[in-house]
Amino acid sequence: MRVGTRTTTVPGRSRIARAWRQVMDDTELGAHGRLMHVGQEFDFDRPVRVGDVLVCTAEITDLREARGLELLTLQVGCATPEGAPVVTSRSRLVFLSQGASGAEATA
């Protein structure tokens, strides 16, 4: 990695984290801070380079309840302003019960 050259790559996570935060701040969703991040994967169509401009769109692709926990899958797709795909991220989150203690959450 050589900083200042066009071949320098940067993590795509920063743009994805911003889109993720917008979803978590959505009051209609009812998200809260008692959550566990249980998995994430990235599919790169090409490297992200310094100077790239990306447009990222977050989409909830799955939301369900299992064993008293709410499970959410969030997909964030990032593309160039022209629409060429660059990176797609899928995150899996588990929202713990608002009143659950740590022991109840892991049982």
Give 26-49 pLDDT, tens digit per residue: 667 666 667 788 999 999 999 988
Reported as a pLDDT band with limits 50, 70 and 90, residue 61 is: very high
pLDDT of amino acid 69: 85
Which residues neighbour 42 within 8 Å (Cβ) at sequence distance 6 or greater? 12, 13, 87, 88, 89
pLDDT for the residue numbered 95: 81
Contact 91, 36 (CB under 8 A): no
Query: Is 12 or 1 the better-scoring residue by pLDDT?
Result: 12
- What is the number of residues in the chain? 107
Can you tell me the mean pLDDT for 72-96? 91
In the prediction, which pLDDT does 42 show? 92
> What does each C-alpha distance from 79 to 4, 26, 33, 63, 89 come to in angstroms?
22, 23, 29, 24, 12
